[in-house]
Amino acid sequence: MKFSSEQLVPWFNHRVYPMVAWVLLHFAMAGVYIIAFGIAGPTSGIPLFIISVAETLGVLLFVMSTIDDMKRLAADMSDEMKATGFGASFTGFAVFAVIFSVLIIAVPVAHGLLFL
């Protein structure tokens, strides 16, 4: 089955926008963990680091599954859709995955340096 733009827009509303929201929430929670560490003191470092790592793994899995879905959609895109500027932009998934992975994993690394 080949996808058209009418079929692709609901998918974006269902998958891509929530992924972006989770990534933004991930970075917002990074600040909350630092505030909690400042309030609770040095004894809270290990539990906060464990929570940070668990949250990072969840966000990373969500992002990677969304990138995998985008790769699959690009393969099933109709020829008319591939000819558009939007359809032609469905490339570079490996770079996208590496950039997001580095940014997401930077949070628990920073927490490890701060909390441990």
Q: Give 64-82 pLDDT, tens digit per residue.
A: 999 998 888 888 888 888 8
- Nearby residues of 8 by Cβ (< 8 Å), 6 or more positions away: 73, 77, 81
Q: 3-10 long-range CB contacts below 8 Å, 24 or more apart?
A: 3/73, 3/76, 3/77, 3/78, 3/81, 4/78, 4/80, 4/81, 5/81, 5/84, 5/86, 8/73, 8/77, 8/81
Q: Give me the tens of pLDDT residue by residue for the chain, a chain 116 residues long.
A: 677 778 777 887 888 889 999 999 999 999 999 999 999 999 999 999 999 999 999 999 999 999 998 888 888 888 888 888 878 888 889 999 999 999 999 999 999 999 99
What pTM value is reported for the model? 0.86
Encode pLDDT of 52-66 as tens digits.
999 999 999 999 999
